[in-house]
Structure 1
């Protein structure tokens, strides 16, 4: 990449390119954005965002534009602003601001085209949620989650509901809840077997959800190698095989064959370059080749070519601008 970055986003556009936005370098939050072209394997800069931001979200809308929301920068603090990237022109425009400032939140594109923002940090950890309507450019608040949370995950299920898992709110959480877009109501569902934050959640081809890794408390011994499955039809969690390596702030990518690739993250002591594969039919993990660089808080994006693009993050040598393909 042209810039070193951590806490950035990476989004696959309708033209197959990948838009990377914001994050931090070694001294500041970034407003820069760049594009990766898988057909030639090169990066080019595109126009800067209106606001520098870190730990924001990026959502590809049904009209092809990318919605950037929230985040943080040292000059403005926690942001409520949102902006849209138009791939056809390479330009950014402001859109309606969120009801709340927030970062470390999640953003989920619903089947009706709206975007659900959940949790994160306002001034403290919040349970508030809101919806963005691309047709109007406006935000509306919706019902609060049962639990305030940050460092959680949000997954759009095959039935259109959104499953939120874990995270942190004074303690790490094992709770999970479901948002129903048709009613705007949250309902609690089965608790995970382990409290966890900074984990990953992957929707499998059979509709179930694989949760892997994370941390359950502070300290090296609290890093998790455990994994569990959410049964969509029953609303319960079952334990599956442990990963080879305990890790958090890693990535998980569902490949075209349904296997899930987990890469990098922070181990009990240091950032990892290891990667492993979860096979849903067997419920087992196998190691695969390691990345060229250890990295945590990076991004991993499944390309239209079926390869996985990993970008940025950090390791013991600092913040990275490197990218690699699996």
Structure 2
């Protein structure tokens, strides 16, 4: 395909940086003067001895000294406040408006966006690449199958696996294909054992890709999972999962296992389970505090998992943390805005940036979770309110947020 470049517009790329935006230093000094007090008492005793010829006088003097010393104590208290601010840099417009697409950062630092839908029902087979050095989006090779609600994952060789999804929003795909960034060409690979969309994917420590759950047609939900081996290009079914679910979240833990949490079965779910990458089996783990779907899950620097927002009976502003050592959940503060269908990205300082999403309307707001204090702070707004968007981290630490929708019917071609 012939690559074309687009003219830069007013869309923007978000650079999330940690800045000492407000530093307050308070020094409190308490000084007690050192005092040395000396009390001297002199006692004189006179003894007179008289004999016939001699009178002798003896005088004895006793001195008593008492010294009292008090030390000086100085206390200095310094308070430093660090906030995360968003700096916007103009980029070019995307080649197509889309939602329900995928987005990954390639090993060369560029960003690949693939598939999705413009009208909300008809799938796209197009893909495009963002170059951070030029700020422009250019079309790349088209997929063999148009698809949305699919997954995308980076393979060990730098290629990108895309699997599943739907062409029309009613029937699922089992097909998979691989994108080669060096040639811009897509090649079909082994098909999954199950057709599925609304599934999730995680890269395992051995380079394989675990795909879990989803639905075949909205009415039939899946409890299955399977693993793609890039070397053989084949899929292997894992042990059975404990529950059917879609709209869930999935993340690879520091020990190489995989946590799947929440989602929707017959209703919103609190349950969670862990995939053991050594045995290939799943085990139930602790339940969340709040049932939720359409949420995010992020690995913190200490290895625990932060789950944010989502949908219960309404959009949620709550967050909670899964302790990987105890398998227990604890509350993690409250966001300023309830939101679902948002994105969450790990910043270079270990904090988590949450962007956009849906409450009663699309949100443009962003906020940051401080992984050390457990507190949330607002972090500015995007130029466009959006949900069903995607986000990925560049090698510079900047975060690119792309496409999505403002109201479910109007899809965006902007990125920031």
* TM-score, with structure 2 as normaliser: 0.76
Among 318, 324, 329, the alignment partner of 1:226 is 318
Aligned equivalents of 1:54, 1:308: Cα separation in 2 = 22
Correspondence 1:175 to 2:274: no
Contact persistence 2:287–2:328 (CA under 8 A) = yes
Cα separation, partners in 2 of 1:174 and 1:75, compared to 1, 3 Å: closer
Q: How does 1:66-145 map to 2 (within 5 A)?
A: 66-74=160-168, 77-123=171-217, 124-145=220-241
Instruction: Summarize deviations over 1:235-257 as a string: whole Å, max 9, x none.
Output: 11001111110000000000111
Cα separation, partners in 2 of 1:145 and 1:91, compared to 1, 3 Å: same
Aligned equivalents of 1:308, 1:237: Cα separation in 2 = 28
Q: CA deviation at 1:75?
A: 9.2
Aligned equivalents of 1:276, 1:114: Cα separation in 2 = 33
Among 325, 338, 353, the alignment partner of 1:261 is 353
Aligned equivalents of 2:160, 2:384: Cα separation in 1 = 29
- Matched position secondary structure for 1:289: strand
- Matched position secondary structure for 2:161: strand
Correspondence 1:245 to 2:327: no
Aligned equivalents of 2:134, 2:107: Cα separation in 1 = 17
- Matched position secondary structure for 1:73: coil
Q: CA deviation at 1:166?
A: 0.1
Cα separation, partners in 2 of 1:76 and 1:49, compared to 1, 3 Å: farther
- Matched position secondary structure for 2:368: strand
Aligned position for 1:283: 374
Q: CA deviation at 1:144?
A: 1.6
Instruction: Summarize deviations over 1:241-282 as a string: whole Å, max 9, x none.
Output: 111100000000001111100000001x10100100000111
Aligned equivalents of 2:250, 2:403: Cα separation in 1 = 22
Q: CA deviation at 1:135?
A: 0.4
Aligned equivalents of 2:230, 2:262: Cα separation in 1 = 28
Q: How does 1:299-314 map to 2 (within 5 A)?
A: 299-314=390-405
- Matched position secondary structure for 1:314: coil
- Matched position secondary structure for 2:334: coil
Aligned equivalents of 2:324, 2:247: Cα separation in 1 = 22
Correspondence 1:147 to 2:229: no
Cα separation, partners in 2 of 1:75 and 1:7, compared to 1, 3 Å: closer
- Matched position secondary structure for 2:197: coil
Cα separation, partners in 2 of 1:229 and 1:76, compared to 1, 3 Å: closer
Aligned equivalents of 1:77, 1:31: Cα separation in 2 = 16
Q: CA deviation at 1:122?
A: 2.1
- Matched position secondary structure for 2:245: coil
* TM-score, with structure 1 as normaliser: 0.96
Q: CA deviation at 1:223?
A: 1.1
- Aligned residue pair count: 319
Aligned equivalents of 1:12, 1:308: Cα separation in 2 = 10
Q: CA deviation at 1:170?
A: 1.2
Consecutive unaligned residues in structure 1, runs of 5 or more: none
Which of structures 1 and 2 has the larger relative contact order (alpha carbons within 8 angstroms, sep 6+)? 2
Contact persistence 2:388–2:404 (CA under 8 A) = yes
Instruction: Summarize deviations over 1:35-55 as a string: whole Å, max 9, x none.
Output: 000111100100100000001
Q: How does 1:133-212 map to 2 (within 5 A)?
A: 133-212=229-308
Aligned position for 2:78: none
Aligned position for 1:8: 101
Aligned position for 1:62: 156
CA RMSD of aligned residues (A): 1.1
Aligned equivalents of 1:13, 1:129: Cα separation in 2 = 25
Q: Which has the larger radius of gyration?
A: 2
Consecutive unaligned residues in structure 2, runs of 5 or more: 1-93
Q: CA deviation at 1:76?
A: 8.8
Aligned position for 2:114: 21
Aligned equivalents of 2:413, 2:211: Cα separation in 1 = 28
